[in-house]
Amino acid sequence: MFSTVERDRRWGRLRALMDEEGVELLIVLPAWVTSDSLYIADTIGVTIFPREGDPILILGGEHSNYAVERPHWIDDRMSATPFGSTAPEYGLVTAEVLRRRGLVGRRTAIAGLRGDEYSSVRQPEGYAAHTTVSRIAEAVGGENIVDGTAILGRARYVKGAEEIARLAASVRVGEASLAAMAASAREGVAQAEVFGQMLLAQVRAGADVLHIAWAPGPWGAMRHRYVTPPPGVLERGTYVATELMPEIRGYQAQVAQPLVVGSPSARARDIFERNAAAFDIAVETMRPGKQWGDVFAAVESVAGADDGHMLTLLHGRGLGNDGPLLIPNRDRSHVAELPITANTTFILKPFLEVPEAPVPSPRTHDVTWGDTVVVTETGAERLGTRRRELTVVDQA
């Protein structure tokens, strides 16, 4: 568990934001997306969080009736079902608790009603279940309900030292998995075998949830992105773009590493080196006092005038679904004037969109390398320690 010092830091920030928004009660739900729940309670459950007074935790799932006896950040806790069912009716139970505790009629924010620039960025329409929200609204009065996603997003955006350490641990798991890839990948080896060795390395290194994205194919061809064991064998001339997000108690850093079987082409080496140069100029520019538009301009300068477009491929890292989200084919104009803030964390992996590609960002010429970084007062710093290189393997 995170420390009570970290708990108090988060809760203080949340209450300050609630006060700014005139919110008296914040409700965080655990279903479908667990990141907000983990942030506020360091566990998965419904949290009823008043601006003043002690929060209430409602646990659900198998053996939740026993889990209430374990130490948690929140002392006032209960099970959503008497016997720890895996099918809890969170909305019904939350509404009953609100009525029983006299917490109705207050201006109440529910996280997850829609997306936000800093959290739930891949759920622009939110993650909260309609029935759950409807039952809570019946208890507190629908006119008192507002969206609380931005409160969680703004709080989660700036990380504490313990969170950054957790993300660094996730990076170390990812690096162990990449070492297994380099050790097992050879011409003629089944891609699923390499994938499996990478997963095993994540288990051994301490991951709670395993993750690999694997995009193989010959240079210049469209590539499918597998998140389950890929088919086929590694052949000479196969390029693989990988992204790894192993999870430790909800926290997901990311590392990105390209691999090629046999000698890479001169064009692949050139693109890799320019992606690396864009990474370096980005970390130098990512410091408080700058705006994201400054980073975009610095990264784009690396591409040159006549050789495609260098994309600042970047998004927040933390409990998942963190922002801002700067990915291909998404408007970033609203992000350009946002300030860069210290103690924020991102996966940074600049990507050259080459003019010979049939469409923008098709992974046809993908040798993208990336690492999770934290913004400091003097620029961003890597959380990883592996060498920056294009992994090259040959015959078995």
Instruction: List the domain boundaries for the chain.
Output: 4-157, 161-393
Other beta carbons within 10 angstroms of residue 299's beta carbon come to 25
Of 187, 189, 244, nearest to 214 (Cα)? 244
Other beta carbons within 10 angstroms of residue 56's beta carbon come to 22
Position 275 scores a pLDDT of 97
User: pLDDT digits over 88-141, tens only?
Assistant: 999 999 999 999 999 999 999 999 999 999 999 999 999 999 999 999 999 999
Is 4-157 assigned to CATH 3.40.350.10? yes
**Intrachain domains 4-157 and 161-393 with the same fold:** no
Question: 384: Cβ–Cβ under 8 A, 6 or more apart, which residues?
Answer: 171, 172, 174, 175, 255, 371, 372
Position 206 scores a pLDDT of 96
In angstroms, what is the C-alpha Rg of the chain?
A: 23
Query: For 163, what's the count of Cα atoms within 13 Å in the CB-facing half-sphere?
Result: 29
Please list the pLDDT of the chain residue by residue as tens digits (396 residues). Answer: 899 999 999 999 999 999 999 999 999 999 989 999 999 999 999 999 999 999 999 999 999 999 999 999 999 999 999 999 999 999 999 999 999 999 999 999 999 999 999 999 999 999 999 999 999 999 999 999 999 999 999 999 999 999 999 999 999 999 999 999 999 999 999 999 999 999 999 999 999 999 999 999 999 999 999 999 999 999 999 999 999 999 999 999 999 999 999 999 999 999 999 999 999 999 999 999 999 999 999 999 998 778 889 999 999 999 988 999 998 888 888 899 999 999 999 999 999 999 999 888 789 999 999 999 999 999 999 999 999 999 999 865
d(CA 307, CA 353): 9
CA dihedral 373, 311, 228, 172 (to 10 degrees): -20
Pick the CATH number of 161-393 from 3.20.20.70, 3.40.640.10, 3.90.230.10, 2.40.160.20: 3.90.230.10
Share of the chain above pLDDT 90, in %: 93
Which segments within 105-159 are labelled E, that is strand? 108-110, 145-147
Q: Is 241 helix (H, G, I), strand (E, B) or coil?
A: strand
Of 11, 45, 273, 358, nearest to 152 (Cα)? 11
Mean of all residue pLDDT scores within the chain: 95
